[in-house]
Amino acid sequence: MAGRAASASTRGELRASGYRPRTVRDELRANLLRTLERGEPLFPGIIGYDDTVIPAIENALLCGHDLILLGERGQAKSRMIRALVSLLDEWIPVVRGSEILDDPERPVSAYARQVVAERGDDTEIAWVHRDERYAEKLATPDTSVADLIGDVDPVKVAQGRLLSDEFTIHFGLLPRTNRGIFCINELPDLTEKVQVGLFNVLEERDFQVKGYRVRLPLDVLVVASANPEDYTSRGRIITPLKDRYAAQIRTHYPATRDLELAITLAEARLPELAGVALHVPRFHQEIVAETTLQARRSPDVNQTSGVSVRMSIASYETLVANAVRRALRLGESEAVPRVSDLAALEAAMTGRLELEYAGADRSESDVIAELQRRAIRTVFDECVPLEGVAPVVESFQQGWRVEVSAAMPSAEYLVGLDEIQGLREGAARLAGGDSPARLASAIEFILEGLHLSNRLNKTVHDRGALYSRA
């Protein structure tokens, strides 16, 4: 609200300004239409949902529907829900002192009704910013009706108020979000008793506190998130509550590696150090994203719980951190990740993968290593034609051996490099330059790709690895 209305301090001044109250759904609809007309993005920074999730959310808001987002972890559900706040009016007037943001023209609480009845146009108003009109609750089995809806306040009873008096109620989160957006994350974790109470507030607009019926016509958009496994298979949401959510929207993981990588690069926070240049070759970026995609297809990983995009982001950040740490220790001016740095990613991946079996056959470390090998092989096959590295294989067949290590100075990779035909040229082309650090990174990638293609042997030892003829 801007202009004359925003300067009002009483109900009379507000009415004289031409203010007209509107519901939160009308508010969201009008502001969404304005956003669409201007061609502005509804969810800045959200990638991969332009043709699927975002149109469905827009339709739900235009219809005024409460909505639930169904998806596995790490699919930006909470982030999109929180972004809906931007569609609320920046400022709204409320009855000063109201706990539930009563509209001066449509008061619903006993307090606001009494104040307006007594003072009329002299009723004082306050202005509330849209950020204060959003509340979020993570559903847990111990969440109570009192938490969400309210309960009798024993302090007010001790002060002499009657239990049947609406003024004895201590409002919960949902009433306190009147004229706003209320989000319940992981909705199926609410007990059935609480779900029944929530349904009554949403559908019947009343609830009972200690046996007393209280009429409270709330104006609130209720959104929720849930894992589809909990929502559909376990049947932990009562049928009337499911029916209350008119829009049930399925989120998803990035459909392609390019989308996975675009999200990763947009969200990753990388260290910046004076005197140390950072370069991450495209093939290493692809390996990180492909590892996550391999995990989402792997029979060793429980696909019900999902594999979050956060794993790609954390892996990428860890890969870069390991390269920067090596450059600092060795006094090198450029930090470039290597295949030998991928072992450090276990710390970023452990705990993010729920294995499909109970235990004894393979460890999480073994599964992670296998996923990385598959990713390297996939990326290698795409960007390194075998006929182009045939001279490299021939050199190894003649007896060449190359030792690599995450702690080895980049310059040591170049010793005897020109004796292996085609290796320098191929490495420089892959790494986007011929600096020692870039060449070292590409050399490791080529050698590992040839090993995984069964063209070279690899012997792993404490200091690193040795590549030799097959």
Mean pLDDT over 313-333 rounds to: 95
Quick one: tokens of 272?
């910046």
442 shares its domain with 299:
yes
C-beta of residue 48 within 8 angstroms of C-beta of residue 164: no
Per-residue pLDDT, 3: 46
Mean pLDDT over 267-296 rounds to: 94
As a whole number of angstroms, the distance between CA 419 and CA 341 comes to 26
Find the Cα–Cα–Cα–Cα dihedral 395, 399, 404, 409, rounded to 10°. -80
387 shares its domain with 346:
yes
Residue after which a domain boundary falls, among 250, 278, 300: 250
- What is residue 86's three-state secondary structure? helix
Q: Give every CB contact of residue 317 below 8 A, 6+ residues apart in sequence.
A: 268, 269, 270, 348
217 shares its domain with 362:
no
229 shares its domain with 207:
yes
Q: Which of 184, 199, 183 is nearest to 238 (CA)?
A: 199
Domain count across the chain:
2
218 shares its domain with 271:
no
Least confident piece of the model among 164-168, 179-183, 234-238 = 234-238
Beta bridge partners of 68: 224, 248
As a whole number of angstroms, the distance between CA 438 and CA 443 comes to 9
Please count the CA atoms within 13 angstroms of the CA of 235 that sit on its side-chain side.
1
Please count the CA atoms within 13 angstroms of the CA of 457 that sit on its side-chain side.
9
28 shares its domain with 81:
yes
- What is residue 43's three-state secondary structure? coil
Hunting for tokens 């449509």 — which residue is that? 106
Q: Give every CB contact of residue 416 below 8 A, 6+ residues apart in sequence.
A: 400
60 shares its domain with 102:
yes
C-beta of residue 13 within 8 angstroms of C-beta of residue 128: no
DSSP summary character for residue 46: -
Per-residue pLDDT, 317: 97
CATH number of residue 65's parent domain: 3.40.50.300
Residue after which a domain boundary falls, among 219, 250, 281: 250
Best mean pLDDT range from 5-14, 200-209, 298-307, 316-325: 316-325
Least confident piece of the model among 34-48, 130-144, 231-245 = 231-245
171 shares its domain with 65:
yes
- What is residue 83's three-state secondary structure? helix
175 shares its domain with 273:
no
Q: Kindly tell me if the per-residue pLDDT of 168 is higher than 80.
A: no
pLDDT tens for residues 325-340? 999 999 999 999 999 9
C-beta of residue 444 within 8 angstroms of C-beta of residue 404: yes
Q: Using CB atoms within 10 A of its CB, is residue 303 exposed (0-12), middle (13-18) or buried (19+)? A: middle
211 shares its domain with 354:
no
CA-CA-CA-CA torsion sign (68, 71, 73, 75): negative
Mean pLDDT over all residues of the chain? 88
Q: Kindly tell me if the per-residue pLDDT of 209 is higher than 70.
A: no
193 shares its domain with 317:
no
Residue after which a domain boundary falls, among 207, 231, 250: 250
317 shares its domain with 396:
yes
pLDDT tens for residues 40-82? 999 999 999 999 999 999 999 999 999 999 999 889 999 999 9
User: Domain span at residue 154?
Assistant: 5-250
- What is residue 358's three-state secondary structure? coil
C-beta of residue 353 within 8 angstroms of C-beta of residue 307: yes
Number of H helices, E strands in the chain: 19, 16
Per-residue pLDDT, 231: 52
Indicate the pTM of the whole model.
0.86
- Identify the band that residue 4 occupies on the pLDDT scale cut at 50, 70 and 90: very low
* The pairing of beta strand 464-469 with beta strand 125-129: unpaired
Q: Kindly tell me if the per-residue pLDDT of 467 is higher than 70.
A: yes
